[in-house]
Amino acid sequence: MAECGASGSGSSGDSLDKSITLPPDEIFRNLENAKRFAIDIGGSLTKLAYYSTVQHKVAKVRSFDHSGKDTEREHEPPYEISVQEEITARLHFIKFENTYIEACLDFIKDHLVNTETKVIQATGGGAYKFKDLIEEKLRLKVDKEDVMTCLIKGCNFVLKNIPHEAFVYQKDSDPEFRFQTNHPHIFPYLLVNIGSGVSIVKVETEDRFEWVGGSSIGGGTFWGLGALLTKTKKFDELLHLASRGQHSNVDMLVRDVYGGAHQTLGLSGNLIASSFGKSATADQEFSKEDMAKSLLHMISNDIGQLACLHARLHSLDRVYFGGFFIRGHPVTMRTITYSINFFSKGEVQALFLRHEGYLGAIGAFLKGAEQDSESRCWRP
């Protein structure tokens, strides 16, 4: 019913970190032993970020200095091991399809709401749409947070703090994933968030950002058109179909238009001239796999070109991709990367994020944590 905690890096089934360790920050220290969570309800998916401390045993080793002349210690062991309990602050993630919003709220009620909890931080359009339902079911006050603010806050946070968060994807390279090192100077950059639809945001500083564009051709289109074409209603199943398909059976390629003569003209015959161009006139059935692959290419290429054009218009050379469309799928990342390279002639770099789908939820969580921290400071 609900898919659990895929953090976004790798398609479902891969081994994934389902939580991140929070940095030892003033804000998070205040949270210990408090149950805190935030919810981001988009057009299709509900994302939940929740905090908990993880208690674990750590072996500590103390070694002695044996270089001295202290012969009494010679028969003592060279080191001392002690086992200590340690508490780590972690942020956990889970996602649900919006269809199961009530089940999601039940989960929250059973696991995250205690007598101290008064407020739930919520963002995304669903924070407005489901406000009454949430307040009624959880008996909490919904604190609606601005979608863009949360998205950017979450993105800035993971870029600065989470190791191995952003990476370049290059198929056929070794390694395929090349991780970017965290550092505090992340601005300016372009964020392309691909949820049901696409939002394109220019981020200049921690607090200054601008929505510069968007597209209705996003994850909801892959899911929606994919469902109509293949009768498969599951997003991950569609991705799985796509990974086994041959888009050239459905797409009209340059070589189909030129009948092989493209070579003498220096054209790449494998370029897609028209997505789904073959299904217009060919009298045949098309396989689900081929259609899903063609659809994935169509959408990824389009987003790549839009991202590249916006980056060039605003003189930005790095584009980060967020949102739950990509979910670490190689075909998607490869196509987006290819498209950006092609249209920018290599001048714009596409970067993917391991926690791509949870940026808004992380942002909303941080907003709540900050408010909590401030209210504690001001408490008499």
Residue ranges in contact with a second copy by CB under 8 A? 42-44, 97-99, 124-126, 128-131, 195-197, 213, 215-221, 223-229, 233, 235, 250-252, 254, 256-262, 265, 272-281, 286, 291, 297-298, 301-302, 305-306, 309-310, 312-313, 343
Q: Quote the CA–CA distance of 221 and 233 in Å, as a whole number.
A: 12
Smallest separation, CB 265 to a second copy (Å): 8
Smallest separation, CB 260 to a second copy (Å): 8
Q: Which is nearer to a second copy, 220 or 357 (CB)?
A: 220
Q: Which is nearer to a second copy, 92 or 129 (CB)?
A: 129
Smallest separation, CB 148 to a second copy (Å): 11
Q: Which is nearer to a second copy, 111 or 129 (CB)?
A: 129
Q: Which is nearer to a second copy, 182 or 249 (CB)?
A: 249
DSSP assigned state of 356: G
- Residue 299: closest CA among 380, 219, 228: 219
**Long-range contact list for 26-31, CB < 8 A, 24+ apart?**
26/373, 27/366, 27/369, 27/370, 27/373, 28/89, 28/369, 29/89, 30/369, 30/372, 30/373, 30/376, 31/89, 31/369, 31/372
Q: Which is nearer to a second copy, 197 or 322 (CB)?
A: 197
> How many C-beta neighbours within 10 Å does residue 122 have?
26
Smallest separation, CB 22 to a second copy (Å): 30
- Residue 212: closest CA among 184, 193, 196: 193
Q: Quote the CA–CA distance of 288 and 275 in Å, as a whole number.
A: 15
Smallest separation, CB 198 to a second copy (Å): 9
Q: Which is nearer to a second copy, 196 or 349 (CB)?
A: 196
18: which 2 tokens? 């389902």
Q: Where are the alpha helices (DSSP H) in 177-326?
A: 219-230, 235-244, 254-258, 288-313
- Residue 23: closest CA among 51, 4, 48: 51
Smallest separation, CB 15 to a second copy (Å): 28
Q: Which is nearer to a second copy, 35 or 312 (CB)?
A: 312
Q: Quote the CA–CA distance of 12 and 5 in Å, as a whole number.
A: 10
> How many C-beta neighbours within 10 Å does residue 377 have?
9
- Residue 45: closest CA among 354, 365, 359, 363: 359
Smallest separation, CB 25 to a second copy (Å): 31
Smallest separation, CB 13 to a second copy (Å): 21
Q: Which is nearer to a second copy, 119 or 261 (CB)?
A: 261
